[in-house]
Amino acid sequence: MDFVRRWSEKTEIGAGRFIHWLGVAASKFYEWRQRYGRVNEHNGWIPRDFWLEPWEKEAIIGFHLKNPLEGYRRLTFMMLDHDVVAVSPASVWRVLKQAGLLARWKAKPSHKGTGVEQPLEPHQHWHVDVSWNAGISRSSGSVFGHLPL
């Protein structure tokens, strides 16, 4: 902005020509001119009225700590009944999840991909693979069970 303005005044060449020489679209240049002097907030978060305020998040977490056995949906309506905060169940879930308080269960860590635990000494672990086939003998016609050899 300053470059174009300064050289346009010194050389008496129009700003439009400088913009063209610089390879900047005119619309982009005038958009920059409108934002000139402001903090660059391009694609930044713009606070909304419906966003939860910090005191609401703290109230949700505090209420959950007082009632740890309640689920997030029930907690939401309990907070409405007690005039704590008026928020949606999805907001309660999101706040509790971000705070690390929403664990579905304490599951054991997966052993998937770690391989088979090998026995440490002989005869410690036995594994027998038996197949039982019920069929009709071709020779005698009787039903029997046999083990494949």
Instruction: Please state, in angstroms and rounded to a whole number, the distance separating the CA atoms of residues 81 and 75.
Output: 10
Instruction: Please state, in angstroms and rounded to a whole number, the distance separating the CA atoms of residues 47 and 56.
Output: 15
Q: What is the DSSP letter of 52?
A: P
Q: Which ranges of 12-117 would DSSP assign to H, the alpha helix? A: 15-22, 26-35, 54-66, 72-81, 89-98
Q: Which DSSP helix (H) or strand (E) runs through 2?
A: helix 2-11
What pLDDT shows up at residue 44? 72
Strands 133-136 and 143-146: antiparallel
pTM (2 decimals)?
0.45
What are 133's strand-pairing partners?
146
What pLDDT shows up at residue 6? 86
pLDDT (mean) for 63-77: 93
Select the more confidently predicted residue: 105 or 81: 81
Q: What are the tokens at 111? A: 């052993």
What are 49's strand-pairing partners?
none
What pLDDT shows up at residue 88? 94
pLDDT (mean) for 66-82: 93
Which one, of 70, 47, 62, 67, lies nearest residue 95 by Cα?
62
Domain ranges of the chain: 2-35, 54-98
What pLDDT shows up at residue 5? 80
List, for residues 87-109, the tens digit of each pLDDT value: 999 999 999 999 988 876 667 77
List, for residues 105-149, the tens digit of each pLDDT value: 667 777 787 877 778 888 877 777 666 665 555 555 555 555 555
What pLDDT shows up at residue 36? 83
> For residue 136, what are the contacts with CB-CB under 8 A and spacing of at least 6?
142, 143
List, for residues 25-68, the tens digit of each pLDDT value: 888 888 888 888 777 766 777 777 778 999 999 999 999 999 99
